Every structure is written in C-alpha cells, then in structure tokens.
C-alpha cells in the first residue's frame, strides 16, 4: 500500500480541479491511499478580487511575507507519505501568499521532511521564477523534488492578461467582452492532466522517481517558452525595487501602489512587445548564450 498526500490551495476551484484530475489514477488504484489537504488561511483572501485588494497584496506576496494558516488535520501530520503532490498558484511571479505561508509554517517541515514531492503549478503563464522560489522552500523543509508539472493558459500573453483580469475580478470563467477566449488553464488540459497522474503512479509503485521528470516532460507537462522566462526575470528585478519601495514607505503605500498599477500596465503593453521583437531578432544568439541552459533548468527538477 502506498500513501499519497495531495496539497493544494485554490480560490476559483481551478487548482482543485487540476489536483483531482492528476490524482485520479491513484485514487482509482486499490494499492494507493490518497489524502487531500486544502491549505486554509486564518484571514481568507477575497474571491472575486477587487482592484484595490488585488494590487495591495503585491508587496507582501513578492517579498514572501507569510501569514497564519489553519493547522492541517492531525492524521496528516502523523502519517509518513510515500509521495506528496504539491499544487500551487503564482501571484506576482512568486508562490501565492497561502502557499508561501504554508511552506514557511512549522506544519510544512512535519509533512514534507525527507518526502519525495512533485510540484504542480496552475498559473496564467509566468511560473518559472516562482518555481525556483518554491524549490528553495521545499529544500529548506528537507523535501526532495522529484517532478514538476506547469499548467498554464496557452493563449497569447497579452490576451490572457485581459481574460484573467475579467475572471479574477468577476469570479466567473467566461469569455471577456463576449469574444475573448475562456481564461485560465483549458478544460482539455485540466482533464488531460490525469495522464501525468498515471506516469506518477507508475514511478510511485516502482518506488523509483529517477526518470519521472523526463517522462513527464515527454508527455508535455512543462511548456517552456523562452520569452516568458525572460519577462519573468526582468519582472522579478523590477518587482524587487517596487516592493521594497512600498514596504519602506508605509505612509505613501496607497499612492505607490497606484503608481505600481500603472507601471504594470506600461511594462505589459509597451515594454514587453518591444523586448519580444528584439529577442526574436536575437534568438539564434540568445539560444546559445542562455536559452538552451534555461530550457534544461526549467524542464528539470
């Protein structure tokens, strides 16, 4: 008998659907026992979001400042799981506050220490640097990362910004303005994610995770897009400056957050298309300088 723990946090239910789809083959396997643990915050975040709250969580999210989480049930803390499926979403190029808070709580070490972990992100499309941050927190908790799956919205970057904002601010997964595509990870990708569950289950039952990540990548679990990683890195540098500035000037917080809002729009709709064109022209050169290395890094564990 193998014990698997599925950890997740989800506001809209998207990440919960992903978690259920990936764990389905294990749930249907009589030799595997699956437990689910949903991270719950003492002070819950609103869903749908309002513009004010959405931007106001930026500095604490990016600086990875934790908040209090409810304790997990005691039977989860006491069990020694054979595998943990750790689902998270990205907020501001970082793990979301609930995820960061759990990973920095004493419960995380109790559950994760010396356990193999597969990370699964459900984000808009910029997950790469957040994965590096989650990796560091897993390592700090003594866990061993054995696999990674990154599910994203596959539409164009600037299209998915519009559709995700409509979704997060309305609370409804619908076609923004009647003609945009549906937001978030597609239904096909969510239900198709159970094939990753089958691959994971195979490794679990063999007790060997060595080739798991290669098998997941071959099945399409990590869609590497060099331009998104490049934007993610540049965004991290700028977010570091903005979040430090806002946290150091609490009396000007409201004003600075409004400025940050305009900066994000400017960076997305003016700077990013220009950078995209430049990097497209330089692609052959960039490929040898860094893209090859980044692809290996982000498709690995």
Ligand X SMILES: Cc1cc2nc3c(=O)[nH]c(=O)nc-3n(C[C@H](O)[C@H](O)[C@H](O)COP(=O)(O)O)c2cc1C
Chain residues in the site for ligand X (CB under 6 A): 10-12, 14-15, 49, 54, 57, 89-93, 122-127, 164, 168
Backbone angles phi, psi at 95, to 5 degrees: -60, 145
Pairing between β-strand 32-38 and β-strand 94-95 as defined by DSSP bridges: unpaired
Report the nearest approach of ligand X to the CB of residue 52 (Å): 12
Q: Which is nearer to ligand X, 44 or 68 (CB)?
A: 44
Please say whether the dihedral angle defined by the alpha carbons of residues 250, 252, 258 and 259, taken in this order, is positive or negative: negative
Report the nearest approach of ligand X to the CB of residue 8 (Å): 8
| Sequence-distant (≥ 6) Cβ neighbours of residue 296 within 8 angstroms | none
Report the nearest approach of ligand X to the CB of residue 184 (Å): 6
Q: Which is nearer to ligand X, 38 or 279 (CB)?
A: 38
Q: Which is nearer to ligand X, 119 or 203 (CB)?
A: 119
Euclidean distance between CA atoms 183 and 169, whole angstroms: 12
Q: Which is nearer to ligand X, 41 or 215 (CB)?
A: 41
Q: By beta-carbon distance, which residue lies closest to ligand X?
A: 12
Q: Which is nearer to ligand X, 53 or 285 (CB)?
A: 53
Chain Cα centroid distance, residue 238: 20
Q: Residue 35 forms beta bridges with which residues?
A: 5
Report the nearest approach of ligand X to the CB of residue 247 (Å): 17
Report the nearest approach of ligand X to the CB of residue 287 (Å): 24
Euclidean distance between CA atoms 56 and 171, whole angstroms: 18
């Amino acid at each position: 008998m193998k014990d698997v723990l599925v950890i997740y946090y989800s506001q809209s239910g998207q990440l919960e659907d992903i978690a259920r789809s990936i764990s389905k083959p294990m749930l249907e396997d009589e030799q595997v026992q699956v437990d689910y643990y949903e991270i719950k915050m003492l002070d819950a975040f609103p869903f749908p979001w309002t513009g004010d709250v959405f931007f106001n969580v930026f500095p604490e999210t990016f600086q990875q400042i934790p908040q209090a989480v409810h304790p997990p049930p005691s039977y989860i803390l006491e069990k020694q799981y054979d595998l943990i499926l750790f689902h998270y979403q990205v907020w501001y190029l970082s793990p979301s506050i609930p995820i960061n808070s759990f990973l920095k709580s004493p419960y995380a070490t109790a559950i994760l220490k010396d356990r193999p972990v597969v990370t699964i992100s459900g984000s808009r499309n910029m997950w790469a640097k957040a994965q590096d941050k989650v990796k560091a927190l897993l390592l700090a908790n003594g866990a061993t990362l054995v696999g990674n799956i990154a599910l994203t919205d596959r539409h164009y970057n600037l299209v998915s910004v519009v559709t995700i904002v409509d979704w997060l601010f309305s609370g409804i997964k619908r076609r923004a303005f009647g003609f945009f595509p549906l937001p978030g990870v597609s239904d096909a990708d969510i239900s198709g994610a159970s094939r990753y569950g089958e691959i994971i289950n195979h490794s679990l039952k063999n007790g060997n995770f060595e080739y798991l990540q290669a098998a997941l990548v071959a099945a399409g679990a990590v869609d590497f897009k060099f331009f998104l990683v490049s934007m993610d890195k540049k965004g991290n540098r700028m977010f570091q400056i903005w979040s430090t500035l806002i946290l150091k000037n609490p009396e000007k917080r409201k004003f600075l957050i409004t400025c940050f809002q305009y900066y994000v729009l400017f960076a997305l709709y003016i700077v990013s298309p220009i950078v995209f064109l430049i990097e497209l022209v330089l692609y052959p050169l960039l490929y040898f300088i860094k893209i090859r290395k980044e692809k290996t890094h982000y498709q690995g564990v």
